[in-house]
């Protein structure tokens, strides 16, 4: 399964009530609990960005890329 995460999905409301994503490294983990992580990855945001409410993406796109029988 593949997920496409848009930068605006990582944004939060700052003290000035503006949507922002801070520059830095972000870790992603997937699993059925914090103690059972199956996949992880990382992304780097190179510069702080601000978003208008109307430009925010709320849901990640997901697609099944391969199925394996167990």
Phi-psi region of 26 (alpha: psi -120 to 50; beta: other; left: phi over 0): beta
List pLDDT tens digits, range 26-58. Answer: 999 989 999 999 989 999 999 999 998 888 777
For the chain, what is the domain count? Answer: 1
The verdict on residue 69 lying in a domain is: no
Which domain covers residue 25, as residue numbers?
2-63
Report pLDDT for 50. 94
The verdict on residue 53 lying in a domain is: yes
The verdict on residue 50 lying in a domain is: yes
The verdict on residue 70 lying in a domain is: no
Give the Cα separation of 10 and 20 in Å (integer): 8
The verdict on residue 6 lying in a domain is: yes
Q: Quickly count: other Cβ atoms within 10 Å of residue 50's Cβ.
A: 13
List pLDDT tens digits, range 8-25. Answer: 888 999 999 999 999 999
């Amino acid at each position: 399964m593949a997920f496409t995460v848009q930068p605006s999905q990582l944004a939060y409301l700052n003290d000035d009530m503006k949507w922002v994503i801070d520059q830095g490294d972000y870790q992603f983990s997937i699993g059925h609990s914090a103690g059972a992580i199956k996949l992880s990855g990382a992304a780097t945001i190179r510069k702080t960005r601000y978003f208008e409410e109307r430009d925010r993406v709320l849901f990640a796109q997901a697609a099944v890329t391969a199925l394996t029988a167990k």
